[in-house]
Structure formats: structure tokens, C-alpha cells
Amino acid sequence: MAKHVLLNNIHHKDLKVITKHSAALGDQVNGALTFPTEFREVQSEYPIFFQKSEDTGQFQAVAIFGFEEGQNLFLAEDGWHASYIPAVISRGPFLIGYQNEQQNGETIRVPMIHIDLDNPRVSQTDGEAVFLTHGGNSPYLERVSRTLAAIHEGVDASKVMFDTFMALELIEPFILEVQFSDGKSYKFDSYYTINEDKLVALDKEILSQLNSAGYLFAAYMVIASMSNIKRLIDKRNRFFAK
């Protein structure tokens, strides 16, 4: 059960975080949310698909690590084998929470760093120190802070990006159907992607607007990431051929 609390250098002065990756630490997952702010890095390793959130019904982008629940084909006994790990994973036990503050007579919701104390990565003895001896942020916490800021920015950017894509009818459903070398198959029909034909058919003015907003780049990163489906299939075939 999660136990989210506001991080502070008094109560958590001796806190450490285990940064290695393993199934025991919660990394055996077949996908994670990803954001336009990291599409360039994510598409170098993973397919990027769109899904509708079960909670809100809104589109969200996901990086795919495997074909079955709890299957991460990038995870091995000695860690996570990829050049980039999505921000939602690399943030570890940290998350963004909000605290109300009074500014000029108004109540403002201010984003603050929280930590899940029940996360298996949290330790008093092993891992990276969260705070320095005299209370300042450790280099590790500074990296986490930048990661959380990118997620925070990415959440807002995602909503506007998806609103734009839907208005231009650029999002289309597709069925991912795969036959593996051991005879097993996989079929998933709840994914969406970018309709490349509609994208290239847009007039120059709209394309220019998309480019200025960074959404044209994001769309092509999603399209480019589809080539990783074959790489993922090959990973799965090699894994089960052992």
C-alpha cells in the first residue's frame, strides 16, 4: 500500500533510494506512460503507442516493454538493458504532489516533491542518499527533481498535443497482432497511433503550426518508434528460445 508524504530534509535526512532495476523492485512491467518531452529518447528503444486512460477516457502515450502483463523484455538479472529508461520509471519512489499556499490573498496549488515510503526502493542503508549530510539536496535528488519537472511539463504538453491531433483527425486505431517463433500469438486491439497519410496531406500552414508547437516532431517520433515493434518481437523470440 502506497504511503505518499511530503519530502523534507528533517524527517528524511538519512533516507536512501536503491536505483538498480529488478523485478523485486517493481520493474517487471510491460509498459509505462511517456510524454512528448521525452519522445526523442524513448523512440530510440521502445514502440510508442497511444491508449485511452481507463480512468478519464483521454488519450495518453505509452512506451511498450513487452507483450504480456508483467513482461519487461529489457529487464535482466543484471539490470535494465536500454540506452534510456522512461521518466515515469526512472523517478523511482518520487512523485509530484501539491500543497496550497497563500500568495497575494489567493490560494495557489504549488507542486512539491513527495515520496512513497512503502516503495521497495526506499532504504535506510542501501542506495543513493537523498540529502547531503548538512541537509542540502544530493546530486541524485537534483536529477530526480529534473525528471519530475519533465513529467509535470509533459502531462500538460500531452493534453494539448492530443487535443490538436484529434482536431486534425490524425489519431487512428490499429490492431497489433503478432505470431512468435514458438507458435504463440499476441493480439491487442486497444492501441492507437498517428495516421501518417493524413499527416503528410495537411496543408503547409497547418504543418507549420504543428512544427512551431513541437507536435510535428512528436508525431514523427511516434511513427519512427513503430520500427521497434520488430526489435521487441526479436527480443521476445530470443528470450523464449533460451
pLDDT tens-digit readout, 69-87: 999 999 999 999 999 999 9
What's the mean pLDDT in 46-63? 95
In eight-state DSSP terms, residue 30 is S
Mean pLDDT of 161-165: 97
**Phi, psi for residue 227 in degrees, rounded to 5:** -65, -15
What is the rounded average pLDDT of the residues 115-120? 95
pLDDT band at 41 (very low <50, low <70, confident <90, very high): very high
Q: What pLDDT is recorded for position 101?
A: 79
- Helical residues (DSSP H) of the chain, grouped into ranges: 39-42, 87-90, 139-167, 196-201, 204-213, 215-225, 228-240
pLDDT tens-digit profile of 14-37? 999 999 999 999 999 999 999 999
* Mean pLDDT in residue range 39-67: 96
Report if pTM > 0.85: yes
How many whole angstroms separate alpha carbon 6 and alpha carbon 116? Answer: 9
Q: What is the pLDDT of residue 1?
A: 63
Considering the chain, what percentage of its residues have pLDDT values greater than 70? 99
The residue-averaged pLDDT of 41-55 equals 96
* Domain range annotation of the chain: 19-91+137-240
In this model, does residue 132 exceed pLDDT 80?
Answer: yes
Q: Strands, E, within 53-93: which ranges? A: 59-64, 75-76, 79-80
Q: How far apart are CA 201 and CA 191, in angstroms?
A: 23
Question: What is the predicted pLDDT for the residue at 106?
Answer: 82
Give the per-residue pLDDT at 240: 84
Nearest CA-CA partner of 176 in 90, 82, 50, 91: 50
Q: For residues 115-135, give the mean pLDDT.
A: 94
What is the tens place of the pLDDT at every residue in 178-218? 999 999 998 988 999 999 999 999 999 999 999 999 999 99
In whole numbers, what is the pLDDT of the chain averaged over residues? 94
**pLDDT over 80 (residue 2):** no
Q: What's the pLDDT at 108?
A: 84
Burial zone of 108 (CB within 10 Å; 0-12 exposed, 13-18 middle, 19+ buried): exposed
